[in-house]
Amino acid sequence: MSVDTVGTRTDFPAEPPEHPTAPYLRMERIPHVWCPGCGIGTVVQCFATALERSGVDLDKASVVSGIGCSGRAAGYLKLDGFHATHGRAIPFATGLKLGRPELLVTVFSGDGDLSGIGGNHFIHAARRNMDLLVILINNFIYGMTGGQNAPTTPLTAKSSTMPFGNFEPPFNLPHLAASCGAPYVARWTCLHIRRLTWTLEEAIQRKGFRLVEVVAPCPPLYSRLNKLGTGLDGMSFYHDNAVIKHGADTRDLGIDFQESIVCGKFVDEEKPTFSELMDTHYDRVLGDKYVPMAPEGGWLHE
C-alpha cells in the first residue's frame, strides 16, 4: 500500500484485527503516557515478543517497576505487576523472588530510578547475584519530573538542573553491573529492535542478576534541551553511532555526549544465584535439617 492511497481504502474489516502484542498488554489502559518519539514503548514491545518466544508461563511472570517514565511499564504489561516506590523496584523484586522462588521476576525501570535513588540496591543485587532480569531504560535524564540531571547524563549535556551543561562524570552502567559480579550484561539502543528482542529472550532463559540496558531517546526533554531534534533524529543518530562490540571490555563502555554508543552482549557467564548459594550452603552445613522454602512460597495454610 503506497502512501497516496491512504484514506481511499474501503475494505477495512469491521473490527480491526487484534495487535499481536495485545495479549501481553492491558489494552484497556492504552493509550499509554509516553511521549511521541519516546523509546520506552519499543522496549515494552520487544519484551513482550521475547516473553512470547521464550514460552515462559506468563502466570508465573511478575514485573516490578519503580517511579518514572519507564516505571510505568509495569502498569501496561499484562503480568502480575507491581508499581513500587522510587528506587525500590529491585529490593521489592528481591522480596517477591525470595517469597516465591518459582517466579520469573523482571524489573523494568529507568536510569534515574535504578542507578540514582536506587543505586545502592542495584549494586547489592548484582553482588548477591539475585535472580532478577533488570531492563534499564537509559534516556540520560529524569523525564517524568521534567528533564533534571541524572547519574547517566553525559558530560556537557544540558539538563534542566545543569542548564550550562553537566560537569559530573556519569555512570557506565554495564561496567558498574559487571564489576559487582552480574553474570549477564548487555546494552542496545531502542533502534536495535531485533537484537534487543533476541537478547531479552536469551536473558529470560538465563539466571542471576541480568542487566539489559537500553539507550532510548527522550525527545521533549533530553533531545530538546540539547537541540538533538525529533525522535526520528534520535534513531538516525543511533543508526550512525551505535557500534556493536560483543564481549567488549566493560571499562570502555562509557557514553560521551553525542559520541558512539557501544552495544552488544558484554558478559554472559554462569554463576550460582543467591538462592542457589543459600541452598548449597545450607545443604552442606545443615544437611537434613535444612528445609528450603517451597517454590510456591513460604508456609501458607491448608
Tell me which residue of 276, 110, 301, 260 sits closest to 208, measured CA to CA: 276
By C-beta, is 236 or 290 nearer to another protein? 290
Provide, rounded to whole angstroms, the least separation between the CB of residue 144 and another protein. 12
Side chain identity, residue 156: T
Provide, rounded to whole angstroms, the least separation between the CB of residue 270 and another protein. 22
Size of interface with another protein, in residues (CB under 8 A):
52
What is the distance of C-alpha 32 from the center of its chain?
17
By C-beta, is 55 or 169 nearer to another protein? 55
By C-beta, is 85 or 179 nearer to another protein? 85
All cell numbers assigned to 272: 550460582
Provide, rounded to whole angstroms, the least separation between the CB of residue 271 and another protein. 18
In angstroms, the CA 174 to CA 54 distance is: 24
- ∠ CA 48-248-158, nearest 5°, is 75
Tell me which residue of 130, 94, 138 sits closest to 112, measured CA to CA: 138
Residues of span 251-290 touching another protein by CB under 8 A: 274, 278, 282, 286, 289-290
- Residue 60 is a binding residue for another protein (CB under 8 A): yes
In angstroms, the CA 54 to CA 133 distance is: 14
By C-beta, is 20 or 297 nearer to another protein? 297
Q: Contact region for another protein (CB under 8 A) — 43-51, 93-101, 134-142, 217-225?
A: 93-101
Within 13 Å of residue 80, how many CA atoms lie on the same side as its CB? Answer: 14
Provide, rounded to whole angstroms, the least separation between the CB of residue 151 and another protein. 17
- Residue 146 is a binding residue for another protein (CB under 8 A): no
- Residue 179 is a binding residue for another protein (CB under 8 A): no
Cβ count within 10 A of residue 288? 6
Residues of span 11-40 touching another protein by CB under 8 A: 26, 29
- Residue 302 is a binding residue for another protein (CB under 8 A): yes
Q: Is 300 exposed, middle or buried (0-12, 13-18, 19+ CB in 10 A)?
A: exposed
- Residue 62 is a binding residue for another protein (CB under 8 A): yes
Provide, rounded to whole angstroms, the least separation between the CB of residue 201 and another protein. 21
E strand intervals along the chain: 61-65, 80-83, 104-110, 133-138, 184-189, 210-215, 242-244, 261-268
Task: Enumerate binding residues for another protein (CB under 8 A).
Answer: 26, 29, 58-60, 62, 64, 74-75, 78-85, 87-88, 90-100, 102-103, 120-121, 124, 274, 278, 282, 286, 289-294, 296-302
